[in-house]
Homo-oligomer: A and B are copies of this chain.
Amino acid sequence: MYNIFMNKKISEKVINRLTLYHCILQDFISKGNEYISSKQIATLLKIDDSQVRKDINFLNNSGKSRVGYYVKELKKSIETTLGFAKTKNAYIIGAGNLGMALAKYDNFISYGLNITTLFDNDKAKIGKEINNKKILDIKTLPKFTKEHGVEIAILTVPGKYAQETAEFIIKSNIKYIWNFTPTVLDVPEDIQVWNENLMGNFLQFTYNI
C-alpha cells in the first residue's frame, strides 16, 4: 500500500513523541480500553493537548469517534508512519551489564529492532546465551557479518575500548553504530554514528532543578 506520508520528513521531536504515544496505546490496549482522547495522552506526558492533536493529524489516521481515537487504529497508524514493519537486525558489541540489559529488553522487537547476537572478548561469557541470543567471540564478527549482512552495531563496551572496537566493527563492514559509550568516535565519512548521550539527556532533565 502506498502511504503518502512515507515521503514526509518527520522531525526528531515528533518521532520521539509518537513513540511515547505508542507506549501509552500499548498500555491502554492491555487494559482493554477501546478509545483514547488527545487530552488523556497530553495529561500523561504533561504536554499540550493541541500538540497531540497536531501530531496525530500528521498521521494517516482516520479512526476518530466522538469519544476519542480508536486505540488500535491509532497504534497502527503510528507503526505505519514510523516504519516499524521494516525490521532491522543488529548486534550488541560488549556483553557487560548494559549489553545484557539491552539484550533483555523485549520491547525492541515490536519497534522493528531485532537484536540477533552479542559479541564479547571475555572467554567466561563466550558461548553463553542471554534471552535466546548467543554471545559469540568478537574475533568472529567479520565472518559473521559477511554471512548475515547485519547493518547495525550497538556499542556497549567500556569507554576506553570504544574507539578501537568501533574501528574493528567498521572493518567488519558494519555501517551504522548506535554508540552507548561516553566516547565520541572518530569514524570515516560513510559511517553513521548515533550517540546515545545519556549525560546530555540527564542535563536536559536536571538543568532547572
Contact = CB atoms under 8 A, between A and B. Distances in A.
Contacts of A82: 203, 207
Interface string A171-197: 000001010001111100100111111
Contacts of A168: none
Nearest to A163: B27
Interface string A20-44: 1001100100000000000000001
Contacts of A194: 201-202, 204-205
Interface residues of A, number: 57
A58 interface: no
Given A107-B159, A203-B111, A88 B184 contact: no
A83 B185 CA distance: 25
A80 interface: no
A85 interface: no
A7 to B, nearest CB: 12
A53 to B, nearest CB: 18
Interface in A96-141: 96-98, 100-101, 104-105, 107-108, 111-113
A203 B10 CA distance: 11
A110 B97 CA distance: 21
Contact of A200 (B16, B151, B205): B16
A89 to B, nearest CB: 11
Interface string A65-100: 000000000000000001100001000000011101
Nearest to A202: B113
